[in-house]
Structure 1
Amino acid sequence: MRTAVSACLLSLLFISNAAIARNDSVMVPLQPVMDQIAKQGGAVRFYFAKQATPEVAEKLSTFTVSRNGALRAEQSDACQKLAGQVIDQMRERAVSEGADGVVNIRSTYIKGTEVGTETEFECRIGNVRVAIQFSGELVKFKN
């Protein structure tokens, strides 16, 4: 009897944890990510949302990069670190396709919904994970 009660209480514990799972959307400042991009340098330039860009000669493609990671630090730090990793993936893609820049970068975590501005991006926070998804357009600029 005691084993059955223990098993029942244990299953209720697991069910209640699932019921209170966290999936919050927070807006995180973009400036620390932009500072990281500037430090790394490189030929590929990044423009978020409606930031003014040099004149575009050719649009190559639109693509999306998703990434998630452990929530081991302050949530905005974890989000900004993850955003830096997403930008690194975007840079690799741009280089492989011969692009000069990635423009119109926006948060697109929920399909069909675009969030973010020139100063903030969306980060999804769970109990133990953070997730980011950016979409952008690869372009070649006029010289």
Structure 2
Amino acid sequence: MNKLISTAMLAASLSTLAVALPARAADTALMLPIAAAMAANDAQSRLGDSVKFYFGDQPTPSVARKITSDKTSLRTNAFGKTAEKSCNWVFLSAMLALQKRANEVGADAVINIVSNFKEKVVSSQTEFECHEGAIMSGVALKGDFVKLAK
């Protein structure tokens, strides 16, 4: 009988604890260097030079015309990877998505690129924002697609 009461009390205590402690996955916002991400995963050669990229308020050549603005939000598997590795990988994926969109609309540059995770804008010439969780990492970027003056 005492064993049954002890088991019931333990079960009640555990259920109270489960309600008191919210279940939460890690979601850490990191600011990482763009230069390191561009040096990883053969990013520079994979992006080539047909589309130029300018971050934050970085000076740009003269713009002949703005074509459109757009954004991308991508995630990648972070399980078993360092935050830097998974964030650099998803950054490259986001950059390739911007490049693809630029090619679709006839732009030769993407300017004013900012991090835009959950619609919160973070502008930097040198860093991008990555959200790293227990199993996923995510990068969201937005920018203006333009034709540069020749």
How does the TM-score come out when normalised to structure 2?
0.80
Q: Distance in 2 between matches of 1:87 and 1:15?
A: 42
Q: Distance in 2 between matches of 1:105 and 1:89?
A: 13
> For residue 53 of structure 2, what is the aligned residue in structure 1?
46
Q: Call closer, same or farther: CA 1:128–1:53 in 2, change over 3 Å.
A: same
CA displacement 1:63-122 (0-9 Å, x = unmatched) = 1100011113110111011000010011110001000010111101032x2114111111
Q: Is the 8 A contact 1:116 1:122 kept in 2?
A: no
Q: Distance in 2 between matches of 1:127 and 1:139?
A: 37
Q: Is the 8 A contact 2:76 2:89 kept in 1?
A: no
Aligned length: 141
> For residue 147 of structure 2, what is the aligned residue in structure 1?
140
Identity of aligned residues (%): 28
> Which residue of 11, 25, 31 maps to 1:21?
25
2:69 is aligned with 1:65 = no
**Residue 117 of structure 1 aligns to which amino acid in structure 2?**
S
Which consecutive aligned stretches of 4+ in structure 1 deviate over 4 angstroms post-superposition?
A: 12-17
> Which residue of 83, 90, 96 maps to 2:98?
90
**Residue 55 of structure 1 aligns to which amino acid in structure 2?**
S
| SS state at 1:118 partner | coil
Q: Is the 8 A contact 1:123 1:130 kept in 2?
A: yes
**Which structure would you say has the larger Rg?**
2
**Residue 32 of structure 2 aligns to which amino acid in structure 1?**
V
**More deviation in 72-81 or 34-43?**
34-43
Q: Distance in 1 between matches of 2:56 and 2:43?
A: 16
Question: Which stretches in structure 2 are left out of the alignment for 5+ residues?
Answer: none
Q: Distance in 2 between matches of 1:106 and 1:15?
A: 38
How does the TM-score come out when normalised to structure 1?
0.84
| SS state at 1:114 partner | strand
Backbone CA RMSD of aligned residues: 2.5
How far 1:34 moved relative to its partner?
A: 2.9
CA displacement 1:6-40 (0-9 Å, x = unmatched) = 7x958x7699572x321211111111233344323
